[in-house]
Amino acid sequence: MENVYTTNDPPRRISLAADARELIGGGVVVLAVAYALDQWLAFNTKAPLPIFDLFGYGVAIWRISRSKAPPLSAGVAVALCGVVALGALGPYRSPGVALTVLAVYCGTRKDSELRTAGALLFALAVHELWSRGIFAAFAPEFVRVDAGLVGSLVKLTHPDAVWNGNMIATSDAHAIVIEEGCSSFANVSLAVLCWLSMTTLERSKVKKVDLLVVIPVIAMQIFLNVARIYLMALSPPMYEYWHNGLGAQIYANGASVLTIGMTLLGLRLVHKP
């Protein structure tokens, strides 16, 4: 049967509304690429890709794709595009600012999948941006805690060692200074991100019992870093091996594998039927 149009039909209007899943998910992809390139090309050296971060981005995008959010109005869509543009085209760290805005937007929606994605985006923003600010403010205190742990260990095994502030000398010829970048606390936000990504990959809601898993994961990260700095303090060859050599890779990969393994095992244990 032929369609019959009459003059009383409302005129067709172009809708400026956008699919929330597509726009927010696409925005997160743009920010993930910008952040990964920032990390990969930092200081003109080809650093390893930030695997945990990309995994977190992946889980967030997956959660966004499963949401049933209503279409975005034109104003909100344009504002979110502006935020993504700021993150993609701004300087180093700008993806973190854009992520924070997206996280707040997603986290305040009614849809539980979007709220979960918001929590994950917020964890990513904290890891990529805000933890650096907090760490910058309290770096001397954080470093002092690390130096205290390493210094105590060194004094136990090498009573002649000299430990002064964040400097530890095991002989006249070898001393190390624990700098801001060496602190164990720099790895805590990464451990939290990994835990949250794996938890939200399994279920859309994080339960209180899941928090029992993250505490040993953080403790393990601190223990591994302290052990590594202790080994570096022992002698120049040990320093070279664990700071620049194969030991540095063993540490990085070992810490990653242990973080994933402990999180998986912990989640299985706390949710055992």
Partner 1 sequence: MKWAYRLLLGALLIAGIAHRLGPRPDLAQAASHLDRTYATLKPELVGPPEVDHNVASVSVARCPRPLIVASMPPSFTPTAILLSNKRPGDRTYFAYLDWLSTNPDRMAVITRRIGTPIMAMFGLSPYSNSRVMLFISEPGECDVVKQVDWSVYWKP
Mark the segment that binds partner 1 (CB under 8 A) among 12-20, 55-63, 184-192, 231-239. Answer: 12-20
Q: Does 184 bind partner 1 (CB under 8 A)?
A: no
Whose Cβ is closer to partner 1: residue 166's or residue 259's? 166
Residues 114-133 that bind partner 1 (CB under 8 A): 133
Whose Cβ is closer to partner 1: residue 59's or residue 84's? 84
Q: Does 238 bind partner 1 (CB under 8 A)?
A: no
Q: Does 149 bind partner 1 (CB under 8 A)?
A: no
Residue 236 CB, shortest distance to partner 1, in Å, is 16
Binding residue count for partner 1, defined by CB under 8 A = 48
Residue 45 CB, shortest distance to partner 1, in Å, is 10
Task: Write the binding mask 51 to 90 for partner 1: x where contact by CB under 8 A, - elsewhere.
Answer: --------------------------x---x--xxxxxxx
Whose Cβ is closer to partner 1: residue 24's or residue 123's? 24
3-state secondary structure the chain: CCCCCCCCCCCCCCCCCECHHHHHHHHHHHHHHHHHHHHHCHHHCCCCCCHHHHHHHHHHHHHHHCCCCCCECHHHHHHHHHHHHHHHHCCCCHHHHHHHHHHHHHHCCCCHHHHHHHHHHHHHHHHHHHHHHHHHHHHHHHHHHHHHHHHHHHHHHCCCCEEECCEEEEECCEEEECCHHHCHHHHHHHHHHHHHHHHHHHCCCCCHHHHHHHHHHHHHHHHHHHHHHHHHHHCHHHHHHHHCCHHHHHHHHHHHHHHHHHHHHHHHHHCCC
Binding-site ranges for partner 1 (CB under 8 A): 14-19, 22-23, 26-27, 29-30, 33-34, 37-38, 41, 43-44, 77, 81, 84-94, 97, 133, 136-137, 139-140, 143, 164-167, 177-181
